[in-house]
Chain A
């Protein structure tokens, strides 16, 4: 089956022959490897994308179901240069191995779009579904606290 949808603002077409997740289609077929697969169970948030305005784990979304939807991946965040969320992370040591990073960028960009100066607890709640094994979260929290202060 052919699925057509809007991907990072451009029309995209996926050819689906077996039950397959949106994550696999993004990574294997549409050459957007930025979304990461770390659990395939909806537990880690590494595969987070925006689907019709909502954050979802793309590993849990069937690709066949995204017809006519709008999908934004990490590759669709920002354009030329880093967005404030990315810059904040870069300058606060919030990236180590970086495997969790695309998912965190997608979720944090969504958070700041809705709420430009979130409290620490709001930051933590927004990112509660994103596991990072490297940083212990300290630098991630600091980077977004700083960004929230700057935008307030």
Chain B
């Protein structure tokens, strides 16, 4: 990668702009880092879940006695045992904690068991006798749309609806259901406090909203439940919803003992939501010079059985349906259907991924129809600061370097024709080099940063002096992305103190940090840390009439007038809440200032294809990404490379196969994940600019790498094969047949 310029002189060691090392790196490398899977307490029981083998059924009777009669079983709970709200949900409380009447998806929880060891718990869960009356599942989202089984519909109309252009391309596109597949499955430990309350340590992305839902379903007061952060093995959206949280607490409160639960991989596939499969119909009309005259889109996302975040994911898909392009005549109709398929919700990219595959394929087709260079077509229509956003009409106020992203991407050197250490099919020697066809494809994408549509998006952080420096307290969840590193960097630079650690604290000790999603934590929780640290420094300097704060303490004219030890003894601390610029709810035509910030990224993929067997090897994916300011360039690169790999996965291999509502490949043998042999080389250009409201001008970087990488790989396969490629992942039969 190209090293970006530093944000500002790193006056403090380990401040912003440095590629500071992770504070949790060493324990993770030594195997001593404690994950939710590793938690244990003396006397703890193991929990397990009885799940429905049907996608749609009526529960006729539940008999728990066969499970209860197994030695070592301490409790078996059903829907009747849920003490409070029988349902939960991130935005809409529509999902039963335990199904009582109707089963709406395959794997829906029906009963819970606590037993003395894991095997007994699993055996008992299997022994619970449930009589089902099987019902016909609704699994075709098109049919659900017709029957108006919808979580949300969005209708966007902007500009002259009669506008048209002489060059028209139409297309229909599909993307499959993708799984986040974090390596750590769902896991946790609930510990009763002996006074009717409970402490929960479980995998999460959004501690305070887990807490709210747990409190409601337990029927307790907020202060009786404490949700604690814990070590997490990746997330990518899969941990935004509650899954085992309420279950664990119910079992712990019922048995009076700590209860541990760890999903195995196949249970994990039913235990969290997935990326929505999408069906998208598009029509682009352009003038002869290539400017977009009108874009129409119809977007269907299948939400599956329960709402989860479908309304918000659908909003993103609909509002980002045109991409990072200007157009003054737009019509988008989106629907998020309700079916008996597995529930879908948050996954990295959150609705922007699916539509990017469609609109970028359309842009390539349009370039073709216009006999125009595809980069030139994109440049001509590129959306930038000061423009109206094509769907919502919002004026882009923050920096948006779309043209720079495109131009720098196109200018990056291409690999030599022969450059590749492996052929498609890997070491299987499936083809000879001379039969391999190479293709190159470009795509760019855009996504919102932070929560949209008028959501009150805030984070609280506390900075206090302690030990020989400062401690940052936050409930923001570290899932592996490196928030723990960057929050400390922000505090160091803002305070002028190098000894800073981050402490992830439970829900009773601090207000919400919001969710670790929407690429928002660096900007929003980082904003809270910056605010708290800056205020704290100002207060200390003002109080002591000093002119600088350093590791030594307060300085005046270069002399230490109060030592760090003295400051720490005085218990200095500051708590601050940061809110991003306000957004509005959409009007009936989807218009308004819906988003607080945007980021663009572009990808250029180079693929080798074996046309006979339909095998693809992605050689390289180069990228230029709008990052605002890179606070930790190496960590940014890590997000970029990891995000690209997940985008490549969706392009060529990752698909949850669902038939009649049942996931056919809920394991790592059949759900293919990219291995190191599938990893493309990546060259990344970080495009920096001033003016974002994030701390030191930073923008979120987690999601943009996944938005257009899928589309770029698909475009490269199209270029290599001449096939239409209207669906991802691209399967061998899509190429070879």
Contacts and interface: CB of A to CB of B under 8 A. Distances in A.
Interface of A: 18, 27-28, 32-41, 43-44, 46, 73-75, 78, 82, 86, 89-93, 95-102, 105, 120-121, 124-125, 127-141
Contacts of A44: 183, 668
A105 B32 CA distance: 13
Contact of A40 (B34, B265, B682): B265
Contacts of A133: 181-183, 234, 236, 642, 646, 673
A88 to B, nearest CB: 10
B29 A96 contact: no
A95 B479 contact: no
Interface in B580-639: 634-635, 637-638
A35 B668 contact: no
Contacts of B427: 125
A130 B673 CA distance: 11
Contact of A93 (B26, B29, B638): B638
Contact of B641 (A28, A78, A129, A138): A138
A78 B30 contact: yes
B30 A74 contact: yes
Contacts of B25: 89-90, 95, 98
B642 A136 contact: yes
A73 B26 CA distance: 16
A95 B642 CA distance: 11
B229 to A, nearest CB: 14
A101 B24 CA distance: 12
B682 A136 contact: yes
Contact of B642 (A98, A124, A135): A135
Nearest to B679: A137
A86 B676 contact: no
Interface string B442-485: 00000000000000000000000000000000000001111000
Given A73-B31, A96-B480, A96-B482, A91 B183 contact: no
B31 A35 contact: yes
Interface in B215-258: 232-234, 236
Interface in B339-359: none
Given A73-B31, A139-B637, A41 B667 contact: yes
* Most-contacted residue by chain A among B181, B634, B679, B682 (CB, 10 A): B679
A114 B17 CA distance: 38
A33 B669 CA distance: 24
A91 B675 CA distance: 22
A40 B641 contact: no
A38 B642 contact: no
B676 A99 contact: no
B236 A101 contact: no
B668 A120 contact: no
A96 B638 contact: yes
23 contacts: A33-B31, A34-B30, A34-B31, A35-B31, A36-B183, A41-B668, A82-B29, A82-B30, A90-B26, A93-B635, A96-B481, A98-B29, A120-B421, A121-B421, A124-B679, A127-B676, A131-B675, A133-B234, A133-B236, A136-B644, A138-B641, A139-B634, A139-B638
Nearest to B183: A99
A57 B229 CA distance: 30
Contacts of B184: 36, 38, 97, 99
Contact of B679 (A27, A39, A101, A136): A136
Contact of A97 (B19, B26, B479, B646): B479
B668 A131 contact: yes
Given A135-B642, A136-B645, A101 B28 contact: yes
Nearest 9 A/B pairs, CB to CB: A34-B31, A97-B480, A98-B28, A99-B233, A136-B645, A136-B641, A74-B31, A43-B668, A138-B641
B38 interface: yes
A134 B638 contact: yes
A146 B729 CA distance: 34
A93 B675 contact: no
Interface of B: 19, 21-22, 24-26, 28-35, 37-38, 118-119, 181-185, 232-234, 236, 262, 264-265, 421-422, 427, 479-482, 634-635, 637-638, 640-646, 667-669, 673-677, 679, 681-682
Nearest to B233: A99
A151 to B, nearest CB: 18
A118 to B, nearest CB: 13
Contacts of A134: 183, 234, 480-481, 638, 642
B676 A128 contact: yes
Nearest to A27: B38
Contacts of B668: 38-39, 41, 43-44, 131
A140 B480 CA distance: 15
* Most-contacted residue by chain B among A32, A89, A101, A102 (CB, 10 A): A101
Given A128-B677, A137-B679, A39 B265 contact: yes
Given A39-B668, A95-B22, 5 more contacts: A41-B669, A75-B31, A97-B233, A101-B31, A134-B234
Nearest to B648: A136
B232 A97 contact: yes
A86 B181 CA distance: 25
B39 to A, nearest CB: 9
A49 B637 CA distance: 30
A101 B26 CA distance: 10
Nearest to B21: A90
Contacts of B234: 96-97, 99, 133-134
A77 B455 CA distance: 48
A57 B422 CA distance: 26
A28 to B, nearest CB: 8
A82 B677 CA distance: 27
A97 B182 contact: yes
Contacts of B479: 97
A89 B29 contact: yes
A139 B677 CA distance: 14
Contacts of A127: 676
Contact of A82 (B26, B265, B481, B669): B26
* Most-contacted residue by chain B among A33, A90, A127, A129 (CB, 10 A): A33
B38 A33 contact: yes
B46 to A, nearest CB: 10
B271 to A, nearest CB: 14
Contacts of B236: 133
* Most-contacted residue by chain B among A32, A89, A96, A127 (CB, 10 A): A96
Contacts of A92: 634
Contacts of B183: 36, 38, 44, 46, 97, 99-100, 131-134
A12 to B, nearest CB: 16
A139 B642 CA distance: 10
Contacts of B37: 33, 36-37
A122 B430 CA distance: 20
B532 to A, nearest CB: 26
Nearest to A93: B634
Contacts of B264: 37, 40
A129 B645 CA distance: 16
A128 B679 CA distance: 10
Contacts of B646: 133, 136
